[in-house]
A and B are shown apart, each in its own frame.
Chain A
Amino acid sequence: MNNDELDEMLRDAAQTYNLPPAPPREAMWEAIARAREASTIVPIMSVRRAPRWLVRAAGVAAVLMVGIAIGRGMRDTPVVVGPVASALLAVPAVQPALPAPIVSKAQDEPAPTLRTGRQVAAVHPRTTRESAAAGDLASDQTAYRLAVVEHLTRTEVLLTSFRARERSGSEAKMDAQFSALSRDLLSTTRLLLAVHRADDPTMTRLLQDLEYVLMQISQYAADGRRVDLDAINQSLDRRNVLPKLRSTIPAGVSTSTSTES
């Protein structure tokens, strides 16, 4: 038998391979119609918006991620020190509430260029592993510090605005945006407290004070009771929150919205 005969035999035999029966047209059409109908009905769950706390948490996480990314980027990229960064990173005596600067060992190096973590390691020889660990630690600290400064600035604006409203007698006009912002800042404060290193008791106390006051403001925003308003004012005064906040925020960070005299 040659190949042609074998091929012919193959083709003949192949026709019986998985020989299909008549298709169940109606049954399939009904199933298709049902499936298409079901796909056009949007389940209630799918149109529900994400819970507010989840949205807020995502926002907080995004802020922290941006801070970390900036910090990581600074490790490898020389950064020209601006007024904010220099106040934040290089003058710990003026800003006692902030953690120690990441380039404390390189303070005698000429400004304005901030050395990267790798460059600092080159100036102060260590083992490779120590240098890498120091670089990672420095970048994480920087990222955390940037996130804290941004948060404190936003909180100071909110508290100042709150005081201004309260003194102008418009305390009842606590709009939804104000309420949402206070809850957002409360969440961020708690997150910062959760990730905060315990080597800076001043910052920890400040964040705890802010948590307390923001919690009261959130409560007041929800209920609008006068007794809550008094409690907030007492907390702000007794805990000396605004002065501490302002002394902690580095000079140069915009607080132009401050209206309290």
Chain B
Amino acid sequence: MPAVHQMASARSDDVVTDQQLVARCLAGDHAAERALYDAHVERVYRLAFRLAGDADLAQDFTQETFIRAFDRLSQYRGDASLATWLHTIATSVSLNGMRSVTRLRNRSASIDDVPELPAAAPRESPHDLREKLHASIDALSVKLRPVFVMHDVEGYTHEEIGLALGIPTGTSKARLFDARAKLRAALAIFAGDRTA
């Protein structure tokens, strides 16, 4: 089932709680810092893992997110929920981190790493659908993949995605449309099998 999460952005009592929590953190209350961490770490880690696909990287990105958040907590104005603010940092940290990792991997990849092409294309099975889909998501561009992962995989709304990525809501919708179209095209062979 989709892991749909509701971000605490709409209710005013949540905003007040966020601001109180932030105020306590800024006053040096370590218990409040831990409470803030406990309240948000799971979602931040999930998002980081979905984007990174690697436990170590997800752990690094999550830690970096909270380190930055605590450093910049005085800049939190309460305009958006603390969760939205945190996920904006997490998205930025994860995507920038992935760009660095990708560059490093591309640089270190050698010709020997390229797998040989199969002699004949194997017949696709339903189990292959998942692998093919995962590979196709990985192959999405850096603009499309975060939107698809955040919306269709993690259940963020377009408004939340727009805030996190710094793009208009309409752009988020358009990118999701493009991402789905590319995935459909990549998985067309399965549709053919089913219809045949």
Contacts and interface: CB of A to CB of B under 8 A. Distances in A.
Given A32-B67, A36-B70, A17 B191 contact: no
A14 B137 contact: yes
Contact of B195 (A1, A16, A20, A36): A1
Contacts of B32: none
Interface stretch (B6-14, B101-109, B127-135): B127-135
A29 B34 contact: yes
Contacts of A16: 130, 134
A130 to B, nearest CB: 49
Contact of B59 (A14, A24, A35, A36): A24
A28 B69 CA distance: 14
Given A17-B50, A35-B67, A10 B133 contact: yes
Nearest to B30: A33
B184 A13 contact: no
A13 B130 contact: yes
B16 interface: no
A169 interface: no
Interface string B1-42: 111000000000000000000000000000000100110011
A3 interface: yes
B149 A21 contact: no
Interface string B165-196: 00000000000000010011001001100110
A60 B190 CA distance: 74
Interface string B61-96: 011001100110000000000000000000000000
B46 A20 contact: yes
A23 interface: yes
A35 B59 CA distance: 14
Majority SS at the chain A contact face? helix
B137 A17 contact: yes
B133 A20 contact: no
A27 interface: yes
Interface in A28-45: 28-29, 31-32, 35-36, 39
B67 A25 contact: no
B66 to A, nearest CB: 5
A10 B180 contact: yes
Contacts of A13: 129-130, 133-134
A195 interface: no
Contact of A10 (B38, B45, B58, B152): B152
Given A10-B187, A11-B152, A36-B67, 8 more contacts: A3-B184, A17-B50, A17-B133, A17-B137, A18-B51, A20-B58, A28-B45, A35-B67
Interface of B: 1-3, 34, 37-38, 41-42, 45-46, 49-53, 55, 58-59, 62-63, 66-67, 70-71, 129-130, 133-134, 137, 148-149, 152-153, 180, 183-184, 187, 190-191, 194-195
28 contacts: A6-B187, A10-B180, A11-B2, A13-B130, A13-B134, A15-B3, A15-B153, A16-B134, A18-B49, A18-B50, A18-B51, A18-B53, A20-B45, A20-B46, A20-B58, A21-B55, A23-B41, A23-B45, A23-B59, A25-B41, A28-B45, A28-B59, A28-B62, A28-B63, A28-B66, A31-B59, A35-B63, A39-B71
